[in-house]
Structure 1
């Protein structure tokens, strides 16, 4: 009987590892605490259509990831996004000279992870709380007391803080993961019945509670009925207002948006807020993967590399490569 490999987390890192291992002939079982795949690449269904509240776009620099993104494009899961970009600094808006190629999932960001998930066996709404070793194999306990296993190896593809709590059996890896600081981000969406009078479709913001904003309808394949905007607050502002009620967060960031546009702004016909507690690593690392090959435990995620979508995908590839190498 083939003992499967467990992967905890169905964001880009976990699915990248899963695909590479499947291609090498291994059997995989996936787990995720959410109701669907994607992690910070997921999209939220709303009255204003599907909204990318986490990753806004991604870039591809590494040759391997460039090839992967081309495959996604070929399959219709991703397209280039060519927004009219602006910078906001010292109270002034100016067009951004930034010309790098940006990609988004179509018709929403989570289209990519849904496609990568394919026909993998997966347990959603299953929060794994403990990873422990039996005589020969690994077992996982979930928050409802369920026991899953046996598994030959375990790959943990979650934010660093969550990975730390699952690494009790691998204390060396746990201490590295525990040292990683992740920054929070408040994200809000505002929809307007009448389009706002601005050519801006994306903006990098300085000197404001806001860090970034994007016009949803400018992304390929999006719903254009309403003029919907996604706003991200800075990590510093998010940290300071971490426990603020959502209504207050929406009000304050709506105000910061109006200030940036220097124009009277109507009340939104729709709004929502989402708090990402572990939005991005505070610094970048070059580990690629954390591994204890003798134990059979591997940890991957964007925080093991650049903090970007590309870093997450490459980290998953590296986890799979190391595991396969160890088995040879």
Structure 2
């Protein structure tokens, strides 16, 4: 009987590692505490259509990732987004043209991870709380007391703080993960029955509680009946208002948006807020992957590199490569 490899987390890093391992002939089993795949690449279905509340777009610089994104595009999972971009600084709104190629999942961000997941065996709604070693193999405990196993190796593809808690068996890896600080982000979505009177489709914001905003419906393949916007607060504002009720967060950020547009903004016909506790690493790291090959533990994620989607993909690739090499 082949003992599968456990993969905790179904964001880009976990799914990419799972695909590479399966392509190399290894059995895998995935676990995720959420109801669906994607991590911060997930989209929220709502009365206002699908909304990208996490990653807003991604870029591709590394040749290997460029090739992968082109594969996603040819499969219809991703498309270039060419927004009219602006900067907001010192109260001034100015156009911000640049040459950067930006990609989004179509018809929503989560389309990519959903396609990568495909037919891989996965258990959703299952929060793994402990990773422990039996005589020969690894077992996982979940929050409901369920035991999963045996597994030959474990790949942990979660935010740093969650990974730290699962690394009791590998103190060195645990302490490296514990040293990575991750910042929170409050994200809100607003929908308006009448389109807002602005050509802006994306904006990098300074001197405001807001950090970024995007006209969600300007992305290819989105439902366009309502004028939908996604706003991200700065890490500093999010940290200072971590436990603010969602209604108050929406009110605050809606106000900051109105200030930026210098207009009396209509009340939204729909709004929602989502708090990302571990939105991005405070600084870039160069781990690539954290690994203890003798133990059979591997840790990957965007925080092991750049904090970007590309970093997550490269980290997952590297974890799979190291594990496959060890098994040869």
Q: Same-fold call, TM > 0.5?
A: yes
> Normalised by the shorter chain, which TM-score bucket?
over 0.9
Q: Name the CA distance, whole Å, in 2 between partners of 1:98 and 1:165.
A: 41
Q: Name the CA distance, whole Å, in 1 between partners of 2:12 and 2:150.
A: 24
Does the 8 A contact of 2:160 with 2:178 survive in 1?
yes
Question: Secondary structure in 1 aligned to 2:318?
Answer: helix
Question: Secondary structure in 1 aligned to 2:125?
Answer: coil
Alpha-carbon distance, 1:31 to partner: 0.2
* Offset from partner CA, 1:51-94 (integer Å, 9 cap, x none): 00000000000000000000000000000000000000000000
Alpha-carbon distance, 1:97 to partner: 2.6
Instruction: Give the aligned partner of residue 204 of structure 2.
Output: 204
Q: Name the CA distance, whole Å, in 2 between partners of 1:302 and 1:232.
A: 19
Alpha-carbon distance, 1:217 to partner: 1.1
Q: Name the CA distance, whole Å, in 2 between partners of 1:142 and 1:327.
A: 27
Q: Name the CA distance, whole Å, in 2 between partners of 1:201 and 1:104.
A: 14
Question: Secondary structure in 2 aligned to 1:45?
Answer: strand
* Offset from partner CA, 1:194-238 (integer Å, 9 cap, x none): 000000000000000000000011000001000010000000000
Does the 8 A contact of 2:302 with 2:312 survive in 1?
yes
Moved over 6 A (4+): none
Alpha-carbon distance, 1:257 to partner: 0.1
Does the 8 A contact of 2:86 with 2:203 survive in 1?
yes
Does the 8 A contact of 2:84 with 2:97 survive in 1?
no
Q: Name the CA distance, whole Å, in 2 between partners of 1:318 and 1:91.
A: 44
Q: Name the CA distance, whole Å, in 1 between partners of 2:121 and 2:271.
A: 35
TM-align CA RMSD? 0.4
Alpha-carbon distance, 1:98 to partner: 2.0
* Offset from partner CA, 1:158-210 (integer Å, 9 cap, x none): 00000000000111100000010000000000000000000000000000000
Alpha-carbon distance, 1:99 to partner: 1.9
Alpha-carbon distance, 1:264 to partner: 1.1
Question: Secondary structure in 1 aligned to 2:150?
Answer: strand
Q: Name the CA distance, whole Å, in 2 between partners of 1:292 and 1:324.
A: 13
Q: Name the CA distance, whole Å, in 2 between partners of 1:304 and 1:112.
A: 21
* Offset from partner CA, 1:105-148 (integer Å, 9 cap, x none): 00000000000001000000000000000000000000111100
Alpha-carbon distance, 1:327 to partner: 1.1
Q: Name the CA distance, whole Å, in 2 between partners of 1:68 and 1:206.
A: 33
* Offset from partner CA, 1:8-43 (integer Å, 9 cap, x none): 000000001001101110000000000000000000
Does the 8 A contact of 2:291 with 2:297 survive in 1?
yes
Q: Name the CA distance, whole Å, in 2 between partners of 1:259 and 1:88.
A: 11
Q: Name the CA distance, whole Å, in 2 between partners of 1:252 and 1:131.
A: 41
Question: Secondary structure in 1 aligned to 2:224?
Answer: coil
Does the 8 A contact of 2:211 with 2:234 survive in 1?
yes
Q: Name the CA distance, whole Å, in 2 between partners of 1:8 and 1:249.
A: 31
Q: How many residues align?
A: 328
Instruction: Give the aligned partner of residue 56 of structure 1.
Output: 56
Instruction: Give the aligned partner of residue 169 of structure 1.
Output: 169
State whether structure 2 residue 154 is matched by structure 1 residue 151: no
TM-score by length of 2: 1.00
Structure 2 residue runs of 5 or longer lacking an equivalent are none
Q: Name the CA distance, whole Å, in 2 between partners of 1:106 and 1:92.
A: 32
Does the 8 A contact of 2:11 with 2:40 survive in 1?
yes
TM-score by length of 1: 1.00
Instruction: Give the aligned partner of residue 20 of structure 2.
Output: 20
Q: Name the CA distance, whole Å, in 2 between partners of 1:186 and 1:2.
A: 43
Alpha-carbon distance, 1:5 to partner: 0.2
Q: Name the CA distance, whole Å, in 1 between partners of 2:189 and 2:105.
A: 18
